[in-house]
Structure 1
Amino acid sequence: MSNRLTGKVVAITGAGRGIGAATAAALAREGARVAIGDVDLDIAKATAERIGGDTVALPLDVTSNESVAAFMDTIESTLGPIDVYINNAGVMPLSPLLDEDDATIDRIFAINTRAMLHGTREAARRMLPRGNGHIINVASTAGKAGLAGSATYSASKAAVIQYTEGAYAELHPRGLDFSIVMPGITRTELTAGVDDLPGFRAITPETVADAIVDAVVKPRLEVFIPRSARPLMNVTRLLPFRVGQALGRKMGVDHVFLDAIERPERSAYEARATGKDHA
């Protein structure tokens, strides 16, 4: 138990499972008062109970502007002004792009991109009168390089990166901090059936959570996880496109997501990610 973040009020979207849940636990261990928001309130409550302390679970549908505002209102009335807002909610349905239906495309952008835009804007409006606050947007290394089988997901996360850079340029001079979290393949339901890449092994949600805690303690814009991803991403983008593609093929990134699409261990997640488990 540490006290580096004692007194800090942190809100996390999509935090009932995966990276969000691990981040909530890590922040609570540092003394933060954490609010978990999730569309699955039962899962969120179980996670909050497991974490303990001042952790609270609240209903949240990130695709609804009204729900996001109510989420923040409740946090501010119970825990206090939000110091750190983490846009973590996201989905990653995998599909060859010619097979992807319009409903899935709309859902990916509604959750991964539009919800992040609105959450950032709403949080910033509440933080700016105080002259401080920190908004953390969870993107992906896939946002730096479009990958076969996840073209739409990659595009949605590229938007997160560019929007956050723009928000930083506009609002950092007015006192707000921003961070873009870019994990590699992380072992959660989201990557069920996805293989490790040679020299670029999958990481755990706890590893991502620790990096987010470090960014809260000492804010920085770019948070690559693992850190070794930074030079890899930067170098491949500096290379001629065809050279970068050839390097990617050697690593297996040209088929790692395509290979996972039909694997049975992915079916339950795919149904939930596309919303077809409720259809």
Structure 2
Amino acid sequence: MKTIRRQQVAGKAVAITGGARGIGLATARAARDRGARVVIGDLDPVAAEKAGADLGIAALPLDVTDRGSFAGFLDAAEDLVGPVDVLVNNAGIMPLGRVETVGDTEATRCIDVNLHGVMLGTKIALLRMIPRGHGQIINIASIAGVTPAPGMALYNASKAAVLAFTDATRLEVRDRGIQVGAMLPSFTNTELISGTRTPKGQRALEPDEVAAGVIAMIERPSPRRTVPRSLGVSMRLAALYPDRLTRALYHLLDVDTVFLDYDHSARAAYAARIHDGSAAAGE
């Protein structure tokens, strides 16, 4: 088996979408601390400017669903820090609710940001990286892409599609010097889970833990990486469970209700931002 040599983070030009909050902000901080030249983009220009000022890095406006905006973001990033070595597609949203009650606006927005944004960023980055013969794209997916749960159908669908897109793209470009992989974090303490509770037997990860996983993937590129790492084994085993056992475990751990019976008032501000299109922050 070919061993992938450890790569240095220091000196790399790293661009991160949805970088004003959550996992994106934590990843920007971690990459900066390792000596990378970091640029973040976010739909919320005020939050992006504050994050950039706090970290001492460049921060730019970015709508990941718009080709002109994404291309302009990468153009500006490369003017500031040089050719982008690593693109972290992190921007994402998570609408919750029963399938039949989630609004069409939320459904469309979820696919536009979580999937189309990743596809668009990947395509634009590849047009720059392939001629150079090197580069890396890390797509922030989720264990939700392989472990569906009631109340998360839209988010599950978007992340499952991100995984399929990432896998196929990796196979297509791996012989052209480009590394493409997916990060699969578990339940993470960001704005996306506001108003919900943690399933039994789990704890919410902190964004810094996921950021550490992203840094590890930059150092040692891999097709997929789960956070925590131990989750990868249990996920593979769970795929073999019969439906009856899966349903029983979901009930035991409250997974069958945790994303349906949530605090609507605590989540109201975030839900409103999804609806009006101002939520495309970091995972």
Superposition TM-score, scaled by structure 1 size = 0.94
Between the aligned partners of 1:73 and 1:94, the Cα distance in structure 2 is: 35
Aligned-CA RMSD value: 1.5
- Whether the 8 Å CA contact 1:4–1:31 is kept in 2: the answer is no
The match for 2:242 is 240
Match of 2:38 among 24, 34, 43: 34
SS at match of 1:259: coil
Between the aligned partners of 2:82 and 2:21, the Cα distance in structure 1 is: 24
Residue 274 of structure 2 corresponds to residue 273 of structure 1 = yes
The match for 1:8 is 12
Between the aligned partners of 1:164 and 1:102, the Cα distance in structure 2 is: 26
- Whether the 8 Å CA contact 2:109–2:277 is kept in 1: the answer is no
The match for 1:110 is 112
Deviation at 1:28, TM superposition (A): 0.2
Between the aligned partners of 2:159 and 2:140, the Cα distance in structure 1 is: 8
Matches of residues 92-241 of structure 1 in structure 2 within 5 Å?
92-241=94-243
The match for 2:3 is none
Match of 1:17 among 17, 21, 45: 21
Between the aligned partners of 1:167 and 1:271, the Cα distance in structure 2 is: 34
Deviation at 1:244, TM superposition (A): 2.0
- Whether the 8 Å CA contact 2:210–2:227 is kept in 1: the answer is yes
- Whether the 8 Å CA contact 2:144–2:159 is kept in 1: the answer is yes
Amino acid aligned to 1:33 = R
Between the aligned partners of 1:245 and 1:252, the Cα distance in structure 2 is: 10
Amino acid aligned to 1:25 = R
Between the aligned partners of 2:131 and 2:261, the Cα distance in structure 1 is: 49
Deviation at 1:107, TM superposition (A): 0.4
Amino acid aligned to 1:267 = A
Between the aligned partners of 2:130 and 2:231, the Cα distance in structure 1 is: 33
Between the aligned partners of 1:277 and 1:234, the Cα distance in structure 2 is: 36
Q: Which has the higher contact order (CA 8 A, sep 6+)?
A: 2
Amino acid aligned to 2:60 = L
Deviation at 1:78, TM superposition (A): 2.0
- Of stretches 147-156 and 189-198 in structure 1, the one that deviates more from structure 2 is 189-198
Amino acid aligned to 1:266 = R
Between the aligned partners of 2:137 and 2:82, the Cα distance in structure 1 is: 16
Residue 93 of structure 2 corresponds to residue 91 of structure 1 = yes
Deviation at 1:263, TM superposition (A): 3.3
Could you give the per-residue CA deviations for residues 212-250 of structure 1, whole angstroms, max 9, x where no partner exists? 111111111111011122122111111223322222222
- Whether the 8 Å CA contact 2:183–2:224 is kept in 1: the answer is yes
Matches of residues 247-262 of structure 1 in structure 2 within 5 Å?
247-260=249-262, 262=263
Between the aligned partners of 2:80 and 2:30, the Cα distance in structure 1 is: 21
Deviation at 1:276, TM superposition (A): 6.7
Structure 2 spans left out of the alignment, 5+ residues: 1-6
Higher helix fraction: Structure 1 or Structure 2? 1
* Count of residue pairs brought into register by the alignment: 273
Amino acid aligned to 1:24 = A
SS at match of 2:239: helix
Between the aligned partners of 2:90 and 2:277, the Cα distance in structure 1 is: 21
Between the aligned partners of 2:29 and 2:47, the Cα distance in structure 1 is: 14
C-alpha change, 1:276 and 1:32, in structure 2 (3 Å) is: closer
Between the aligned partners of 1:191 and 1:237, the Cα distance in structure 2 is: 25
Residue 63 of structure 2 corresponds to residue 61 of structure 1 = yes
Could you give the per-residue CA deviations for residues 16-37 of structure 1, whole angstroms, max 9, x where no partner exists? 1111001100000000011110
